[in-house]
């Protein structure tokens, strides 16, 4: 996943960088938000396991809607 793909995913699913921070790290502290900002804006590549985390998030979100 590239930075552009990550930004498009966040926009498509109406997630903020803070939301992504809570999904990936479980917190939304300043250092964590800085890491996410770097992934979205390009100075650092997103980790390769991020895409899998987002897939699990989407599955969990769909299951919550079904209940």
Residues 6+ apart with CB under 8 A from 13: 58
- Complete DSSP assignment for 47-60: PTTHHHHHHHHHHH
**Tens of pLDDT, residues 1-58:** 899 999 999 999 999 999 999 989 988 888 999 999 999 998 899 999 999 999 998 8
Is pLDDT at 66 greater than 90 in this prediction? no
Q: Are 21 and 53 in contact (CB under 8 A)?
A: no
């Amino acid at each position: 996943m590239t930075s552009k793909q990550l930004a498009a995913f966040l926009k498509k699913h109406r997630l903020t960088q803070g939301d992504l921070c809570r999904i990936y790290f479980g917190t939304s502290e300043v250092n964590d938000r800085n890491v996410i900002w770097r992934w979205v804006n390009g100075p650092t590549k997103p980790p390769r396991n991020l895409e899998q985390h987002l897939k699990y998030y989407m599955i969990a979100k769909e299951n919550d809607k079904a209940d």
